[in-house]
Structure 1
Amino acid sequence: MSKIFETPLYPYTRHPDQDAATPARHKVIVIGAGPIGLAAAIDLANQGVEVLVLDDNDKVSFGSRAICFAKRQLEILDRIGSADPFVERGVEWDVGKVFFDEREVYKFDLLAEEGHRRPAFINLQQYHFENFLVDRVRELQSQGAPIEIRGQNKVEAIGQHDDHVTLEVETPEGSYTIEADWLIACDGANSPTRRMLGLDFVGRVFEDNFLIADVIMEADFPTERWFWFDPPFNKGQSALLHKQPDNVWRIDLQLGWDIDKEEEKKPENVIPRLKAMLGEDVKFDLEWVSIYTFQCRRMEKFRHGRTLFAGDAAHQVSPFGARGANSGMQDTDNLVWKLKLVMDGKAPESLLDSYSSERVYGADENITNSTRSTDFITPKSDMSRLLRDAVLDLAEDFEFARPLVNSGRLSVPCTYDGSSLNSADALAGPDISRPGSPCPDAPLPDGFLLDLLGDKLTLLTIDADGPESFEEDGIEVKRLALSVRDDPTLALQRRYLGSAASGVYLIRPDQHVAARRETFDEPLFRAAVRRATGKE
């Protein structure tokens, strides 16, 4: 595994920008070549937007870091390239077990209903994830796409202007200045961009610390998520065990608040903890060790002039629930199509304010769920602990108590209820496909629905008439005509029509529903296009 950390993926090379008499101007610059920055850049390049990625590193991230990726994120990967290598390398799982002391008290199954292309979750180390995204960048470059990554290019200063952003970049051969029409900051939880612009987070830092240890071992544990409350090997605290590819196992151990982080990360202190959990006879090697503190925080808004923040640079949540990288990819999914329309002059700049409002809504949803998980995992008073332990005791024998057990509510895609881009719902259809929701997948004779939707505004008609295409204020909308007769599983009927005989949907480029009615009404759908693109 060490080789993947050591190999430069985008080594430093001198660029003509460094010798230009005046600063070169780029359409979009992305700071950070982690999963979120790379996903944003790939999405832009797919749509023909010139994009430059700057990173102070030249390799994948050290350590597995984010490991748990949900079905929605795999669907986004399908839209921007292909999720196949991620799924093929990842470990699929759908069963989770919760233990109290040594007793199993609760078991859940996340297996998605039939008729979805992608599994509920995969576990895949972040270094593999980044590696596959860089492979996708190289593939796009070989096809002539306007995308570039510059390693060992560290942004040291940022200047905001009405029509561009100026960046001072440090390299092994000195500094240079470049400009961007738009800047996307994906530079992590300690975002230098946020600091340079004098911005900060609002939210909570919880008084607790967790040890993350990735260990390489041959073990016969099943491919499940195991979570312990008050286990005998970590009394009064909690623990988590998860399988990754390559015989790597993720172990999280709660340590408490008043600790010496550097001491706790030393192998001589980590290894005894792991042996207490796994058994003295289990052979393992440490791959990566880190300590994190629970934080549930976000920026007040994600757009600041021509700088847009995404991923951990914009928001942080505790890792239980897999809401970090997953929500970050939903950020870029929401942002890129809006930025493309603005850059093309087909939408007002105010459309980008909806990126902030919708993703702040999503961040608040994640923070609420993450805070509740944290409060359950780490009770803040004796009474809270008594109540939690009572719930765990009841869950062992009574089904009604099991939904109250909270070892980390797992990531689900955000539905943008109340968004200014939504049109009034005029179809008494399923809740799962209401305006603002991400489109649920469905099997079709020639593949799956989400593959056919692509990344453009689409008029989806199901057993309904409608034009093959129409244009509204410079924006073209093409039709995808389907029938429930094409789907023997009836998933299309259940997920999009319910009891209705037909349905017509306006689908955004990020595959979220903008409007739906039972039949096509041209004036109303033209208005829905204007509303979905920030013109009403």
Structure 2
Amino acid sequence: MVDVRYDIAFKLYPYEKVAAQEATAQRHPVVIVGGGPIGMACALDLGRKGTPVLVLDDHEGVGQGSRAICFAKRTLEIADRLGAGDAMVDKGVQWNVGKVFHGPDRVFEFNLQPEPGHKRPAFINLQQPYFEKFLVDAVRDAQAQGAPIEIRGQNAVTAMERHGDFVTLEIDTPDGPYTLEADWLVACDGARSPIRDMMGLSFDGRVFEDNFLIADVKMTADFPTERWFWFEPPFKDSGQSALLHKQPDDIWRIDFQLGWDIDREKELDPANVRARVDAMLGDGVDYELEWTSIYTFQCRRMKEFRHGNVIFAGDSAHQVSPFGARGANSGIQDTDNLAWKLDLVIKGLAPDSLLDSYSAERAHGADENILNSSRATDFLTPKSETSKIFRNAVLYLARQHAFARPLVNSGRLSVPCVYDDMPLNGVDAPGLPEGTRPGASCMDAPLDEGFLLDRLPGKFMIMAINTEAPKITEVDGVPVGTLSLRTESHDPTGALVKRYLGETEKALYLIRPDQHIAARWTRSTAQGVRAALLRAIGKGALQ
């Protein structure tokens, strides 16, 4: 990767020497390696729950270059719960519409959020440095309110050793090395994870024989705020495909598909990058190159995301191609899944085996992302003449016929994973809407005041719609909240009925701390709800 220039690097946690560097190894309940968006979201979630956490990062803040830019609705909903959503949406460029072109012709357009009644848009475009900054800002706010979160910049992990129930880490700093211990280690240290390498763990999958050039350019342009994708674009030297969409601060992301056998140094020469951009934008467009890099599609994952008291999340556990915006978004879903489970285990409220469900559920999510990403890559880069004929026939049909449009794959955009058939799921009453079945994340809905997801904090919740909720405030020490709603007074648009009742008149939902649905009933008893919650924390069988 070559950085041309980028102005939004933030030094958020400058190096400071700590007393631990002069003392014997101190033990920490949780150490997170990696201060990127995944590590910081995990620390923020754990710290807000009261679990002490230490973040070690080998830098002093976010890096240069925009890298990830598309953040999905589910990620924004998680950020809302963590206290960072408003800042992200206020800064980000909101979009719902995408357009697909073949050569000079528009094939069709799509709307990722065609129905109203959601607090957040389908996507925002926001440079990763801003996304990380807003998470760190939320960490600072949480620290001010007493959350036990510590961040140490320029603390690079150089070695680790496992000792059964704890891990020893060797840390290098500008003032020399020191040692610390961790009961739990969460590796959020990226696709080239040093922790994974230190443990000798495999990272298996598929590397696609293609390269893509990213060019972030600063310009004032009247293009609409949409995702534009071209197959076989008409502009000169643009490769087999191209992508254009807008970021904040008049920055535009352009991707060019270059092929496999390329001279990377030549392609990254600013003069050659400019030649491609000029051909795309046309004569006379004034712009500046902000950042360029070349990447190769890779779809890989670890076999297991949990290895005893070492847990992997984000790109250290799985990697997908950027088309579809599944990398950072799936990593945030990893931490959303992990934090509440690790918190309960550390507090002695759930068995250690609950963390095995993290690996099972998020490996399921990674497989879904890898499948979609691989299919997108195969559609973008047909591997035979027959495949190319099929691809182009689909594009031709899609111009006039709606049935062909789902076959067009310019990157299936990130949606939350549904944990179907996973061990923590409880009972499911027949007749309720499929979209809110056990394993699915809750759909938002406007209420008489605010939105539904804002009423579902990071703990177990009983949501009773048009029925009485069992009077339960805790189960085996696990706190439980209650949200009682009546559609005649709380559902001004009918979205709550559509998304949670369907044709039924009442329902009871048990919702996990990560806002995924654990179980649901049209009628239930306190005993049934307790049994479902015990199952959701790894203590009980389906009843």
Matches within 5 A, 1:264-303: 264-303=267-306
1:281, distance to aligned residue in structure 2 (A): 1.5
Instruction: Identify unmatched segments of 5+ residues in structure 2.
Output: none
**What is the letter of the counterpart of residue 530 of structure 2?**
R
Q: Using the alignment, how far apart are the partners of 1:509 and 1:528 within structure 2?
A: 14
Q: Using the alignment, how far apart are the partners of 2:519 and 2:466 within structure 1?
A: 17
1:232, distance to aligned residue in structure 2 (A): 2.1
Instruction: Identify unmatched segments of 5+ residues in structure 1.
Output: none
Work out whether residues 427 and 516 of structure 1, in 8 Å CA contact, stay in contact via their aligned partners in 2.
no
**What is the letter of the counterpart of residue 19 of structure 1?**
E
Instruction: Choose from 524, 527, 542 the match for 1:523.
Output: 527
Partner of 1:495: 499
Q: Which runs of 4+ in 1 moved over 4 A?
A: none
Instruction: Choose from 19, 41, 44 the match for 1:42.
Output: 44
Partner of 1:336: 339
Work out whether residues 29 and 180 of structure 1, in 8 Å CA contact, stay in contact via their aligned partners in 2.
yes
Q: Using the alignment, how far apart are the partners of 1:372 and 1:65 within structure 2?
A: 22
Partner of 2:101: 99
Instruction: Choose from 315, 318, 326 the match for 1:315.
Output: 318
Q: Using the alignment, how far apart are the partners of 1:510 and 1:107 within structure 2?
A: 33
Q: Using the alignment, how far apart are the partners of 1:361 and 1:107 within structure 2?
A: 30
Q: Using the alignment, how far apart are the partners of 1:97 and 1:4 within structure 2?
A: 29
Assess, with a 3 A threshold, how the Cα gap between structure 1 residues 171 and 236 changes in structure 2: closer, same or farther. closer
Work out whether residues 94 and 123 of structure 2, in 8 Å CA contact, stay in contact via their aligned partners in 1.
yes
Instruction: Choose from 188, 195, 198 the match for 1:196.
Output: 198
TM-score calculated relative to the size of structure 1: 0.98
Q: Using the alignment, how far apart are the partners of 2:111 and 2:530 within structure 1?
A: 42
Partner of 1:535: 539
1:181, distance to aligned residue in structure 2 (A): 1.1
1:447 match: secondary structure: coil
1:2, distance to aligned residue in structure 2 (A): 4.3
Q: Using the alignment, how far apart are the partners of 1:270 and 1:230 within structure 2?
A: 18
Work out whether residues 465 and 520 of structure 1, in 8 Å CA contact, stay in contact via their aligned partners in 2.
no
Instruction: Choose from 456, 459, 480 the match for 1:453.
Output: 456
1:268, distance to aligned residue in structure 2 (A): 2.0
Q: Using the alignment, how far apart are the partners of 1:476 and 1:455 within structure 2?
A: 10
Partner of 1:357: 360
Q: Using the alignment, how far apart are the partners of 2:223 and 2:309 within structure 1?
A: 49
1:113, distance to aligned residue in structure 2 (A): 1.8
2:8 match: secondary structure: helix
Range moving further from structure 2, 442-451 or 86-95: 442-451
Instruction: Choose from 368, 372, 378 the match for 1:369.
Output: 372
**What is the letter of the counterpart of residue 45 of structure 1?**
G
2:294 match: secondary structure: strand
**What is the letter of the counterpart of residue 149 of structure 1?**
I
Work out whether residues 112 and 120 of structure 1, in 8 Å CA contact, stay in contact via their aligned partners in 2.
no
1:426, distance to aligned residue in structure 2 (A): 1.9
Question: Are 1:378 and 2:365 matched, yes or no?
Answer: no
Assess, with a 3 A threshold, how the Cα gap between structure 1 residues 235 and 446 changes in structure 2: closer, same or farther. closer
Question: Are 1:474 and 2:463 matched, yes or no?
Answer: no
Assess, with a 3 A threshold, how the Cα gap between structure 1 residues 197 and 220 changes in structure 2: closer, same or farther. same
1:103, distance to aligned residue in structure 2 (A): 0.5
1:3, distance to aligned residue in structure 2 (A): 4.6
Instruction: Choose from 430, 437, 440 the match for 1:437.
Output: 440
Q: What are the Cα deviations for residues 428-485 of structure 1, in whole angstroms up to 9, with x where unaligned?
A: 2000100000011111122111111101111111111123324322223222111111
Work out whether residues 471 and 526 of structure 2, in 8 Å CA contact, stay in contact via their aligned partners in 1.
no
Q: Using the alignment, how far apart are the partners of 2:238 and 2:282 within structure 1?
A: 16
Instruction: Choose from 96, 120, 123 the match for 1:121.
Output: 123
**What is the letter of the counterpart of residue 508 of structure 2?**
V
Partner of 2:217: 215
Q: Using the alignment, how far apart are the partners of 1:443 and 1:184 within structure 2?
A: 36
Q: Using the alignment, how far apart are the partners of 2:491 and 2:463 within structure 1?
A: 15
1:236, distance to aligned residue in structure 2 (A): 5.5
Q: Using the alignment, how far apart are the partners of 2:11 and 2:478 within structure 1?
A: 42
Q: Using the alignment, how far apart are the partners of 2:27 and 2:114 within structure 1?
A: 46
TM-score calculated relative to the size of structure 2: 0.97
Work out whether residues 427 and 503 of structure 1, in 8 Å CA contact, stay in contact via their aligned partners in 2.
no
Instruction: Choose from 72, 75, 87 the match for 2:89.
Output: 87
How many residue pairs are counted as aligned between the two chains? 534
1:41 match: secondary structure: helix
Partner of 1:258: 261
Q: Using the alignment, how far apart are the partners of 2:97 and 2:117 within structure 1?
A: 19
Q: Using the alignment, how far apart are the partners of 2:296 and 2:7 within structure 1?
A: 29
Query: Identity of aligned pairs, percent?
Result: 63
2:498 match: secondary structure: helix
1:235, distance to aligned residue in structure 2 (A): 5.8
1:174 match: secondary structure: coil
Q: Using the alignment, how far apart are the partners of 1:519 and 1:488 within structure 2?
A: 24
Q: Using the alignment, how far apart are the partners of 1:76 and 1:190 within structure 2?
A: 26
Work out whether residues 465 and 519 of structure 1, in 8 Å CA contact, stay in contact via their aligned partners in 2.
no
Instruction: Choose from 134, 142, 145 the match for 1:143.
Output: 145
Work out whether residues 468 and 478 of structure 1, in 8 Å CA contact, stay in contact via their aligned partners in 2.
no
1:111, distance to aligned residue in structure 2 (A): 2.7
